[in-house]
Structure 1
């Protein structure tokens, strides 16, 4: 199974949607709250190639993007293979 990391903040509806999709797929993920750990936002921005919005999702350290990107991968049938669920 792939390693999934998601950078989030509280009360973010896009973060909630992204986590819901991953949870429905039975994917375990590490959640990093950038509001509770402000230094992690800098780390997230660097890893996300300059993106500053949450959520930022990484699968096996590869930047996927945000919630819309995650759902687009799923609709295209590309998410499950990335998660090692092919």
Structure 2
């Protein structure tokens, strides 16, 4: 399984999500909007919102991270 996670530098929920993925050995691609501000429009297109984290797993889009997995 491979997912994409949109993050920003300093976001504790983003960090927690990535740590959870690593523990579960989930492959993911991080798109850090602090480093790639041009990707914000891509985020809005995918999620309809400018908040992070946004986790995209195929057709499933999740806004936020609550410690689940």
Q: TM (normalized to structure 2)?
A: 0.88
Over aligned residues, Cα RMSD in angstroms? 1.4
The structure with the larger Rg is: 1
- Between Structure 1 and Structure 2, the one with more helix by share is 1
- Between Structure 1 and Structure 2, the one with more strand by share is 2
Which of 60, 66, 86 does residue 58 from structure 2 map onto?
Answer: 60
Q: Give 1:52 deviation, angstroms.
A: 1.1
Distance in 2 (CA, whole Å) between partners of 1:61 and 1:52 is: 18
Q: Give 1:51 deviation, angstroms.
A: 1.7
Q: State the aligned residue count.
A: 69
Q: Is the 8 A contact 1:7 1:44 kept in 2?
A: yes
Query: How is 1:4-43 mapped onto 2 (pairs within 5 angstroms)?
Result: 4-43=3-42
Gaps of 5+ in 2: none
Higher relative contact order (CA 8 A, sep 6+): 2
